[in-house]
Structures are given as structure tokens and as C-alpha cells.
Structure 1
């Protein structure tokens, strides 16, 4: 794969390798951040019912002036919506004010997740949704879940970062032909600064004339992991996209591999 490529193809679904995460963005700040990202060249925006910003994400897509088919919108149903998943999908479409959702995901496992996923499959048949995805499903959860559904998810997003590399899970999901996406590429709330100040990563960043954030994102991509870093800072949004003009050496990839602490920073 060329290191200049910004798109992965997963079973005929074209998935951008980097998108904007929006979990902490609200109101006009969210609209402005998404507009900035789309203007800079991002073509994937991640949102969720739980974030309370689907309306703003949809507004930004319309303000961007881009044709709808050029932007991938992925959103998620939260477990408290699983019992009425069909209605929740329609509610998401209304909030986004878009004709369809590209990827509708389940936010994390719950005892009624299969029935909720079945509603996503029905929405795909009705062309309300293009593809299905999962979040916070690891080896055991995935292997138990997949035999119960008809349409395989195009992606599963999990916590993945240099301190929690989850190598076995990444390898397993990729072996199933499922794209893997990191929702905490920089380690998450309260942990990013420790990564940004890590001496190994700082040394590697100086070698390439890049920031530590860019090195971390590049490391993810070279592992075949897509990323959705979140930010409302326009300079950071632009910086995070500038990762397709260099490639980490195998030696540097190995150095980052040694940073793994199996240190998970969120509960799911």
C-alpha cells in the first residue's frame, strides 16, 4: 500500500484512513471544527447519539458545500437505544438531516445488541444506511457476535494507542477482513501529554521533521489501523492530516512497539 493513499477499500466500501472524532465537540464549536476538517481534506466524520452533536455534524456537512457522496458519516446507537433501534436510526437521520448514514455502529456490547444490529441490517436493505460497524468489540465479543448476524461489519473501532497496542485483537479483526479503527489514537483523556512527551516518540519525530502526534498517527496507519483524532483546534486538525508524505522505518515501528504497556485508559 502506498504511504500516500488516504483510502482503504473494505469489501467494496471505501473507508478514509483518517477522520475527525467529535465526542467532545458541541454546538457551533462542533460545526466549525467539522467544517474546517472538510475544507482541509478530511472525508470521514465520526459522531454518535451519545455525543449529542449529530445535528451539528449534519449542519457542517451541508455548510461545507461538498456533495453528500464525498463525505463518510459514521454514527452510533447507544445501548439504551437498542430496544428501539429502528426508531433510533430514524432519529439519527432526522438529527443529521441527511438522506442516509454511511456507517451505523453499535456503541458497545449489550445483551440485546444482536437485535439492534438486525435493525441496522434492515436499514441497509432500505438504503437508509450503507454499512454496519461495531465499537468496543474485542476477540471474544466479536467471535460470539458475528455468527448471529447476516451482514459483516466493515469496521470495528476500539481503544488503541502506543501504550495499549492490542496486537492480538488488531490481528484477529484484520484476519476477518474487518477494518480496525482507533478512537483513542493519542491515549485519551488525561493521557495524551504523556505520549506527546515520550522520549522515544520525540526522538523519532525529530528524525522526520514531524510532530509526535503525526508520528503516532502514521504508526497507526502503518499497522493498518484507521484513526479518528478529535480536535477543535484548526492547526491541530490540519496537522493531523499531514501524515501521507512520510513513512516510518521498520526500525522506528519496532521502537514504538516496545512502548506497549497493555495500559487501557477507558472502561470499555
Structure 2
């Protein structure tokens, strides 16, 4: 399976981001390397890491040893906001650890503690993109007014905002705010805030012969929301990747949306 076999979403600059990604938080050391290798073998073509995860070297080794071409794997890493003023040094360290010339997406991991640093950090992210160190840049854990501050200061929209997201957190207004700004919404922790025993999810899962977890992931994809489930269990990694043989009806999507409180 190549990137082109999976649904993707467009980012600025002609970049295509697979809607299904593999999250690597807490997947460190040899188990982290093995989990990423298993994910790539299962069909994932998008791997999400971060400086603070401490696993960029293992992620890079798994990508190299997967036998896949570099251009067939979309790689995201993130800048810890305490690295304010050391942005270029940080991305160069990430690239050395990953063994890559560039990443596909670099995110500010969460807003800097001093709001005055927000726009300067964003300018450095844009400079790294313009220098070819990353193909696209975005943010994580930003509220809409924080996104607007960056856009107003630079006329450059973050390509992506990665936030906690799941059916129970579904917020139609926030989803629309991202779409209106041309910012791709990327959801993390899709299961942590989901009740996989919810009758709506179990009913829809039974109708398609899949698991409630697979329904949650497919719901993201059908909304064109990027989703990055994480697991170090090979069986679960494979099951989470196996969501392209069914799709949800408009009515099922509405029923799942309604789980948002």
C-alpha cells in the first residue's frame, strides 16, 4: 500500500497528508522501533513523533529499515515551546536523529508559555519551511484566537492544528473554524476520550462487521480529520490500519457527531 492508496488531505505547497497516521507518544526504545516498523508493515504511511517523545532516532531507523521509499512515508515532528529562540537548532537536531534531510510537517507542540513569544516562534517555523527543512508547518493544542494571532501577524495560516479529538469531543463550531481558515484539523487520543461501549458505536460497528475503535477512526477520516491512533500491540496496530474497506453513511456520521457533549 502506498500513500496514494490512502485518503489524503491537501496542505499548502502541494503537500498531501495521509488522513490516518501512527502516533508514537510513549513508544520509546526498542519497543518504539518495533511498533513503528509494525505500523509501516501494516500499511501506515504517516508517522507522528516529537522532540519531547525521545524516540526520533527509533522512528527514523524504522523508516529506513522498512524498505519503503522516503517519499512514501509522511513524517511529523514537533518543537517543544521551551525551545523558544532555538528553533533552527531544534529542527536540525530532529533531522539528525531521524536521519532525514527534511520532515513533511513540523508543529509547535503547544503554545509558548509567554504569549509574546507566539508570533516570533511562528516566524521561525516559517523560516525553517522556506529553508527546506520541512515541507509544511503547523501547530498543536492551539485555540482559535491563537491561530488568528499567527495568521494576522504573518498572513500565513498554520497548515495543521493537532488537538485532542474524538466523537465525545466533537465540536461542530471548532471544526468549522478550522475549515474556514484552511487549517487541517488533526486529532490525537481518539480512544482515550471515547466510550467504545457506547450503544451508538457498537450498533454502527455491528452493521459494518468492524470494531467500535475502527468506527471511531473511520469517523475521523470521513470528516477529513487526520487521526493518529497509537499502540505498541501488533494486532491492534493492524486493526487500526484496517479502516478502508468500509465507510459510514451520512446518517451514521450524524449519530456519531451527536455524541459530542
Q: Normalised by the size of structure 1, how large is the TM-score?
A: 0.90
SS at match of 1:203: helix
Match of 2:70 among 68, 71, 75: 68
Give the aligned partner of residue 205 of structure 2: 205
**1:79, 1:113 within 8 Å by CA — same for their partners in 2?**
no
Total equivalences in the alignment: 253
Counterpart Cα distance in 2 of 1:40 and 1:258: 31
**2:102, 2:133 within 8 Å by CA — same for their partners in 1?**
yes
1:166 CA drift (Å): 2.2
Is residue 242 of structure 1 aligned with residue 247 of structure 2?
Answer: no
1:5 CA drift (Å): 4.6
Give the aligned partner of residue 9 of structure 2: 8
Counterpart Cα distance in 2 of 1:39 and 1:6: 18
Counterpart Cα distance in 2 of 1:130 and 1:78: 19
Structure-2 change in CA distance of 1:141 and 1:56 (3 Å): same
Counterpart Cα distance in 1 of 2:79 and 2:154: 17
Give the aligned partner of residue 160 of structure 2: 155
Gaps of 5+ in 2: none
Match of 1:121 among 121, 126, 129: 126
**1:106, 1:113 within 8 Å by CA — same for their partners in 2?**
no
Gaps of 5+ in 1: 262-268
Q: How does 1:99-248 map to 2 (within 5 A)?
A: 99-110=101-112, 111=115, 112-186=117-191, 188=192, 191-192=193-194, 195-248=195-248
SS at match of 2:84: helix
Counterpart Cα distance in 2 of 1:109 and 1:20: 23
Q: Deviations over 1:128-156 (max 9, x none)?
A: 11110110112211112212235432211
SS at match of 2:78: strand
